[in-house]
Amino acid sequence: MTIEDVERYCLSLKAAVAERPFGPSLLVFKVGGKIFALLNEAEANVSFKASDIANELLREQGRARRAPYLPRGGWLNVEHLDAWHQDELNELIHWSYQRVTASLTRQARKDLGL
């Protein structure tokens, strides 16, 4: 998987937007004003929320680490994007997206068409 694949997938999710509030190399993906993924283009890694099981398993396997600067909420950081199968990483990012959309108010989801 490439940086471009991650960006393309994140932006394909309904009502997702990308911003650069933390500098030119960090692309932040949001839905309803809440972050569901961060893509560090300079270091070619991506951070996202993960379930407790995925968090523990991926860290135990050495495929991910706790996301730097995001110590709470089950955030993971994945390096070596080229070692990941696109469907597998998309599924993990989609879980993060769903988790964030579920936390939005009913009205916010309605306004976003979710």
The structural domains of the chain, ordered by start, are 3-112 (3.90.1150.30)
- Tell me how far apart the alpha carbons of residues 71 and 103 are, in angstroms, rounded to a whole number: 19
Task: Give the residue-averaged pLDDT of 68-86.
Answer: 87
Task: Kindly state the tokens that stand for 14.
Answer: 């309904």
pLDDT at 71: 72
- Residue 21 makes CB contacts below 8 A (sequence gap 6+) with 28
pLDDT at 39: 95
For 17-62, write each residue's pLDDT tens digit. 999 999 899 999 999 999 999 999 999 999 999 999 999 999 999 9
Query: Cα separations (Å) of 26 from 29, 47, 53, 102?
Result: 10, 11, 27, 25
pLDDT at 1: 87
